[in-house]
Amino acid sequence: MVAPVLETSHVFCCPNRVRGALSWSSGPGGLLAFGTSCSVVLYDPQKRVVITNLNGHTARVNCVQWIYKQDGCKSDHSFSIIMFLSFCVIQLLKAVHLQGHEGPVYAVHAAYQRRALHTLLVSAAADSTVRVWCKQGSEVTCLQTLNFGNGFTLALCFSFLPNTDGDLFSPPPVPVLACGDDDCKIHLFVQQNDQFQKVLVLSGHEDWIRGVEWAAFGIKITFAVTLETVLAGHENWVNAVHWQPSFYKDGVLQQPMRLLSASMDKTMILWAPDEESGVWLEQVRVGEVGGNTLGFYDCQFSEDGSMIIAHAFHGALHLWKQNSTNPVTWHEIARPQIHGYDLKCLAMINRFQFVSGADEKVLRVFSAPRNFVENFCAITGQSLNHVLCNQDGDLPEGATVPALGLSNKAVFQGDIASQPSDEEELLTSTGFEYHQVAFQPSILTGKKRHKDGLLESFVYGHGYEIFCVACSNSKTLLASACKAAKKEHAAIILWNTTSWKQVQSLVFHSLTVTQMAFSPDDKFLLAVSRDRTWSLWKRQDTIPPELDPVFSLFAFTNKITAVHSRIIWSCDWSPDGRYFFTGSRDKKVVAWGECDSSDDCPEHSIGPCSSVLDVGGAVTAVSVCPMLNPSRRYVVAVGLECGKICLYSWKKTDQVPEVNDWTHCVETSQSQSHTLAIKKLCWKNCNGQTEQNEAEGAEWLHFASCGEDHTVKIHRVNRCAL
């Protein structure tokens, strides 16, 4: 088998904030399916990796449900289309769209009939109807529409009456359907003469019914519905209930009597009857304490019941299991503080300091306190002294939020030691025990009194919302720009990263600067703008050298010399600093150069040094790999507005005009691509070595991508195949 050229190493995504967007397969592999943005993601909880993305919906996926006894899952979204998905191993074979609802679909369920060799599907939508579908082979037809008037069905569950779906000598299978409605009642339907007839209405709930599910118990054919137990334990809405999956033992179906419930009170409860009294009791309660989340939307059992999972308002999947192991996994280790506005940009200053900008006029600088560094070293197994690099004395012990404040504040060892005796108990409580190292990633779902990140400074200077930031490679200068409709507002501001004082204001562009990049040697600063031009600023040596550097305009394009005809979204430098690349909404990528830092001319003319690459779609991100491919060509990653990522190699041919200088290497498949526009691409710095790098060798390159579909993905590329 030929080694793949491009692989996705890891995908960071989260379930949509809706009930029913999570389903755990009880088949081989135990894959977890959930909706994220417009995609359905297949996730392996054992390996903690995303297996594949199923792209096909055009709006938010509202619910997902595996169909048992068959390798398939179905999903739906708010455009009233249900999509049935079939799989072979982990590759999508065929998707069938079911159209008919006149409102958003938000509940689905299915049951497979072994004797009839077809699948019954049921869907509920905002048009106050429930539709019953039949799938046989690749054909799907609508059998019946149940109208609920002005009411809404919020939960559905299919099943078959016991002992009616067995061998050929058993009675015909009798499907039964339970619908939970907003009238606080459960409506039971039984199929008679190929039509579902309402047979019973169950009352007793005092609010909307969010979840219903059947469980097999006995083999009687005559039934009477009675109230068994009222399970009271949650303190808020119960959003989901699920039975532990049944299994066959010695040819007999076994149904464990264990029930899992998820609630908006941020807990999941595992219920089971007492062996002696038969009274249903709470066995296990798990969840989160405190925080700014809105609880759990859904929960699921694993196939054998040894693991349970839930997803919450903030998007994380919460997984609990009985037997702990220690695999290599990806974790979010800190969430320092929120801006209160949508984040727009971020730049790392050093290993434990970064600056971020949002839809506000200020930049916020965050630094890691000693407590965070200690936890980081404990998690990764690195030496604390090696990581700190003689910065131990400059780090605060931690950060706290004052009782009447909004921003966190540094706490130093001397502050703790000098507190009066009546406050000593407070400062030595759990929230202030910074010397206690946590050997696990923190639970990051709440506003804590102690913080993993210290807000060191607010940086003021822009008149409108921050749009982009960039830090020099020497980590001494920070460049920032804001949204602008006039030249005076489109200025680039340079900041000293030690004092956070303004160094210089660079005025050239007339509209918003969309991205900036320092050259590898920090001699140049490149900026691209919404005004369809770029500007190149050269650093002037200062005497004495300890003074802040000054930048002057070195080269630029205007309406006459410009190549791009639409907004330039992205730019990046070649690793040797000789060339830079720009990508625009006009579908073009262009290489420019050469850039000579020894040229003392006040202004220099720099033109295209490549042919114009037409990538076939609007370019929203460009990033150049810090390593050349084996043919000594530059490797350029291009992100498109449609969510696809394309890799090209380029080398100057010294022909006039340049021809055959661009080579298409590989592009992401539909499942590897984002579903919405790419916002940023970034290659991994090849100077840093990890155990994974050493194991893989130098033939694999890594880059990360993020998009408007709220997903971050890490890809790896076979360098030898480029």
Would you put residue 250 in left (φ > 0), alpha (ψ -120 to 50) or beta?
A: left
User: Is the previous residue joined to 544 through a cis bond, with omega within 30 degrees of 0?
Assistant: yes
Please return the burial class of 79, using the count of CB atoms within 10 Å of its CB with bins 0-12, 13-18 and 19+.
middle
pLDDT of 593:
86
pLDDT for 395:
74
Q: How far apart are CA 33 and CA 132, in angstroms?
A: 22
Domains assigned to the chain: 16-214 (2.130.10.10), 228-322 (no CATH), 343-456 (no CATH), 470-678 (2.130.10.10)
Please say whether the beta carbons of 337 and 348 come within 8 A. Answer: no
Q: Within the chain, which residues score under 50 in pLDDT?
A: 70-71, 79, 81, 87-90, 420-450
Residue 258 near residue 274, CB atoms below 8 Å: no
Q: Which helix (H) or strand (E) holds 414?
A: helix 413-417
Predicted local distance difference test score (pLDDT) of residue 622: 98
Whole-number pLDDT of residue 404: 63
Would you state the pLDDT for residue 84? Answer: 53
pLDDT given for residue 218 in this prediction: 59
Helix (H), strand (E), coil (C) string for 593-660: ECCCCCCCCCCCCCCECCCCEECCCCEEEEEECCCCCCCCCEEEEEEECCCCEEEEEECCCCCCCCCC
In contact, 238 and 212? CB cutoff 8 Å? no
Predicted pLDDT at 168: 52
Look at residue 438 in the predicted model and tell me its pLDDT.
Answer: 44
CA-CA distances (angstroms) from residue 627 to 372, 639, 653, 666, 719?
32, 19, 19, 17, 9
The three-state secondary structure class of 676 is: coil
Q: Quick one: which H or E segment has residue 554?
A: strand 550-556
Under 8 Å CB-to-CB from 587, ≥6 apart: which residues? 614, 615, 616, 617, 618, 619
Q: Is 295 exposed, middle or buried (0-12, 13-18, 19+ CB in 10 A)?
A: buried
> What is the number of other CB atoms lying within 10 angstroms of the CB of residue 282?
13
pLDDT of residue 48: 84
